[in-house]
Structure 1
Amino acid sequence: DRAKFEAILQGELQMGIAAHNLGSSEIKLGAAYLQKLQQKIKIPFVSANIRDAEGQLITEPQRTVVVNGKRLLIVGVISSQYAVSGVQVSSPRDAVLSIVDQKAGQYDWLIVLAYLPEIELRHFAAELPEADVILGGGTHQSIAPAYAGPTTVAAAARQGKFLVQLQPPHGSRQGGWEGRVVEMTGEFSDSEQQKQNLQAFYAELEKRDFTAAETGFSPALPVNPPAGYFVAGSESCRKCH
């Protein structure tokens, strides 16, 4: 899982990604690993509401990116339902509002990357009119850009087959962001650089020869399994073992 994740991040860096919000898959890898990885490859992680066991933020809570003269304040949050051992997840809304207070007058647009289930995402958007855009990342289906009060809400499905394209209002903050969901079909040509990154990942897999347990594709066996514990193939394996 870590090798795959690092290959994905290399692809993101090649695309010039501005911010990567931590989601459920990332948080399972642990705070220490994520912090070490960020130092290693300089990936722009953001998360305003994930803390380690000591209560310290594990990455930057926000990033400010200037695009065409406009300052975009990008904040990342995750649902508390994805909390795992060794990390603390606070209220997404409170985390964003705290940054809004800290950065008052220092940005033109507030973009929130919110890894939340769809129902929670919609409630979150309704309660956060301070945001210009809220982009979801934990939904099963893509959500076409739509308004929740003054805020534009959208999401790309987790499978990576879609992306969300957004356009800010022209001239001023009057009006909202608009856009559409774009399906990544064969009409989009493959990037040669990304293909090379993929081949490098395949070569690394072949070189390291992971066991099934290391891949994350199979659940780990319990420690000291109880009597009568069987898995598929137990009868066949017993003939030799």
Structure 2
Amino acid sequence: MEKLVILHTNDLHSHFENWPKIRRFMLGTRAAEQAEGASVLAFDDGDAMDRSAPLTEATQGQINVQLLNEIGYDAATIGNNEGVGNPHDVLEHLYDHANFPVALANLFEVDGSRPTWAKPFVRTQTRAGTRIAIVGFTAPFFLTYRPNGWQVKTVADVFPDILKQLSGTYDVLIVLSHLGIEADRHLAKQYPEIDVVIGGHTHHLLADGELHGTTLLTAAEKYGHYVGKVTLTLDDQHQIITRQAETFKTELMQAAAADPREIQGYESKGIALLKQHQVARLPKQLSIKYDGPSPLLDLGLEALADGAQVDAAILNAGLFLMPLGPGVVTQADLLTCLPHPMHLLKVTLSGKELWRLIMEMEKNRMFLRHFHMIGMSFRGKIFGDIGYRGISVNREKRVVLWHGKPLVPEQQYTFVTVDNFLFIPFFPTIEIMGSNELLFPKLLRNVVGEYLAQKYPL
């Protein structure tokens, strides 16, 4: 008889304030379980990093890998924050110093080859001889992976072949699924040979797991609020007899006197590193208003148009969390102002469809000014007012002007905005009718920073 304990985290998103407790709990639990004869494995399910955190931004995610190394994970997979939140070359080297393998079966280079840092599956074996196979999947965001120089595939594209390769070589099959709760349920139904699915991406909490046949689904919510634990008992033939999932609330875990200093250190070090990089010198403050036009929103529109090399732009004021200037603006200021991991999106629409889009925006304008936004790469509080560059509206006559001239229904028009506009539900015309091009690798704050450096040099 063998006891196998699996500790797991997911969607930490650089919430370093929870890390000391998580580390203490995981290392302590592993030691206690091993002392009683159990086999212990640890996994992370992706989105460990988030570039809205100063130290993550300053180190390009290396601090996150360094912290994961402290646990001694047996494998990790990536989330969209690692996969599309980083330029291709940054992700290529993100795990250069990792002491754990990256299980990632559905991401490829554009030529179809597998990245050198990712394994389609990972194998390990317990002291009792139980053979474990681990397969990892990240959410297949085709729109965002492709322009970043990656080819991403669905589970159905790759998993059947992997199962054939693994057939007869494992006793327990674990899937690290950064796919979301509904995809996990589909996995359990479609592939009953899976024993445990460690889930994430949709930030769901399965406090006691969810059993589908013999497949146990688990997930530990988000931000390090919980740590998950799965306990399996196996017979002498390494077959699973019992399955149990638990989650432990970080808030209730043991604290130490040194924790506040460690947590503050992550923040202070990140800000200090970013402050070393000066960007521009503003002669006066660029203020932001959420209920109407403002200088910083206007500058953001100019920056987007310049960065995308187009003559029109649309942006929401809520992206700017603070004014900039007067005086020197550093990368720390830019991150505080624009923490969102968003990329630019070029949209081409016919005049007829552009008119419809602007009518959608005008209809939602007053509601969105104070709408509390959550998720989808938005790291602010409210959506705020909508600003246009190169576009104006006569609301009474429902007329849309392009650089002062009425739209021509069949003519094509191109403007730039941020990728968030494609994902939120308020402006469906962009997704349904737009010819859309995501611009990589620069994030919104990088584009604004470069424009500030050009307009207000040091």
1:197-212 aligned at under 5 Å gives the runs 199=265, 202-209=268-275, 210-212=331-333
Q: What is the match of residue 229 of structure 2?
A: 165
CA gap of 1:201–1:54, structure 2 versus 1, over 3 A, is farther
Q: Say whether 1:217 aligns with 2:339.
A: yes
Unpaired runs of 5+ residues, structure 1, are: 230-240
Give CA deviations for 1:169-188 in whole Å, capped at 9, x if unaligned.
Answer: 23231435212122112333
Q: What is the match of residue 125 of structure 1?
A: 188
Take 1:17 and 1:99, find their aligned partners in 2: how far apart are those partners? 22
Q: RMSD of aligned C-alpha atoms?
A: 3.1
Take 2:178 and 2:240, find their aligned partners in 1: how far apart are those partners? 27
Q: Say whether 1:66 aligns with 2:118.
A: no
Which region of structure 1 is more displaced relative to structure 2, 201-210 or 20-29? 201-210
Which region of structure 1 is more displaced relative to structure 2, 159-168 or 211-220? 211-220
Which region of structure 1 is more displaced relative to structure 2, 6-15 or 180-189? 180-189
- Once the two structures are TM-superposed, the CA of residue 211 in structure 1 deviates from its matched residue by 3.7
Instruction: Tell which structure's C-alpha radius of gyration is larger.
Output: 2
1:6-155 aligned at under 5 Å gives the runs 6-28=62-84, 29-58=86-115, 59-69=118-128, 70-81=130-141, 83-84=144-145, 85=147, 86-143=149-206, 144-155=208-219
Unpaired runs of 5+ residues, structure 2, are: 1-50, 52-56, 276-330, 347-387, 393-455
CA contact (8 A) 1:52 1:88 kept: yes
Q: Say whether 1:175 aligns with 2:241.
A: yes
SS in 1 for 2:96: helix
CA gap of 1:176–1:194, structure 2 versus 1, over 3 A, is farther
Which region of structure 1 is more displaced relative to structure 2, 84-93 or 206-215? 206-215
Take 1:221 and 1:108, find their aligned partners in 2: how far apart are those partners? 46
CA contact (8 A) 1:110 1:130 kept: yes
CA gap of 1:167–1:54, structure 2 versus 1, over 3 A, is same
Q: What is the match of residue 238 of structure 1?
A: none
- One-letter amino acid of the structure 2 residue matched with residue 203 of structure 1: K
Give CA deviations for 1:29-74 in whole Å, capped at 9, x if unaligned.
Answer: 1443222122244552221001122222221122112233322211
Take 1:89 and 1:31, find their aligned partners in 2: how far apart are those partners? 13
Which region of structure 1 is more displaced relative to structure 2, 195-204 or 169-178? 195-204
CA gap of 1:105–1:220, structure 2 versus 1, over 3 A, is closer
Take 2:264 and 2:132, find their aligned partners in 1: how far apart are those partners? 31
Q: What is the match of residue 226 of structure 1?
A: 389
CA gap of 1:5–1:103, structure 2 versus 1, over 3 A, is same
Give CA deviations for 1:155-212 in whole Å, capped at 9, x if unaligned.
Answer: 1112221121001123231435212122112333359699758725632431332344
Which region of structure 1 is more displaced relative to structure 2, 159-168 or 79-88? 79-88
SS in 1 for 2:122: strand
CA contact (8 A) 1:151 1:176 kept: no
TM score, norm. by length of structure 1? 0.80
Take 2:211 and 2:204, find their aligned partners in 1: how far apart are those partners? 17
Take 2:184 and 2:250, find their aligned partners in 1: how far apart are those partners? 24
